[in-house]
Structure 1
Amino acid sequence: MQEQGRNSFQIEGVLSELGALRYSPGGVPVMSGRIEHRSRQVEAGVPREVGLELSVVAVGDKAKLLAAVRLGSSVRLAGFLAARSLKSRAPVLHIDTIEFLEGTNHGIQASSEA
């Protein structure tokens, strides 16, 4: 497959849904969830309220880290967007970086980058 350009995405929000930690047939940890984002943005000079929910997935060590996080935690997630499947073209954020934005980080390392 030919590379078509950059695919990089970052979002801050609250973890609103976390599935169970599961393992691929090859034994790789996988964790899915959703992040909810709310902010005030300026578009064409006009302020507007923005809100969305986005599906996320973490694989490997990032999946184990995400599995230890509590629902409602404020995080900054970075990674790349891909379609959910061949049938559903809805975007899913594949997490490369998890940064905790508040509190004691729930006993977890404050930033994890691979």
Structure 2
Amino acid sequence: MTPAGATASPVNRLVLVATLAQCAAMRYTPAGIPALDVLLEHASEQVEAGQPRRVALRLKAVAFGADAERLATQPLGATLWCAGFLTSARRGHGIVFHIQDFKPI
């Protein structure tokens, strides 16, 4: 269902400011593309139904290619602005944030 006035084009975009909590060793896809699995943590106060609400989450994320190589240089605890999309995790358990762009803040 599409909201009134919106196009029918599917949208899957996430922008998140989060802390780099864990970083696995660099791996490579069968095609030789660098891939980096990380864990992001986010905590903030959001307004929902007119009331403030504390939110916190841990989210599995992955970056590929040059983004993976750049992300590997970030220290644990770094605060990052991240943008990308969500997809199912391997074997269909949970979700994974695919980071397509990030900036340390």
**CA–CA distance in structure 1, aligned partners of residues 90 and 10 of structure 2:** 20
Q: How does 1:1-114 map to 2 (within 5 A)?
A: 5-88=10-93, 90-101=94-105
Runs of 4+ off more than 6 Å = none
Residue 65 of structure 1 aligns to a residue whose secondary structure is: helix
Gapped regions of structure 2 (runs ≥ 5): 1-8
Deviations 1:67-97 (A, max 9, x none): 1111000001100000012332x11110111
Higher relative contact order by CA 8 Å / sep ≥ 6: 1 or 2?
A: 2
Residue 91 of structure 2 aligns to a residue whose secondary structure is: coil
Residue 90 of structure 2 aligns to a residue whose secondary structure is: coil
Q: In the TM superposition, what is the alpha-carbon distance from 1:28 to its structure 2 partner? A: 0.5
Letter of the structure 2 residue corresponding to residue 97 of structure 1 = D
Deviations 1:7-35 (A, max 9, x none): 10010011001000111111110000011
Gapped regions of structure 1 (runs ≥ 5): 102-114
**Could you say what the CA RMSD is over the residues aligned between the two structures, in angstroms?**
1.4
Residue 17 of structure 1 aligns to a residue whose secondary structure is: strand
Give the total of aligned pairs: 98
With the length of structure 2 as denominator, give the TM-score of the two structures: 0.88
Deviations 1:41-91 (A, max 9, x none): 111011111000101100010110111111000001100000012332x11
With the length of structure 1 as denominator, give the TM-score of the two structures: 0.82
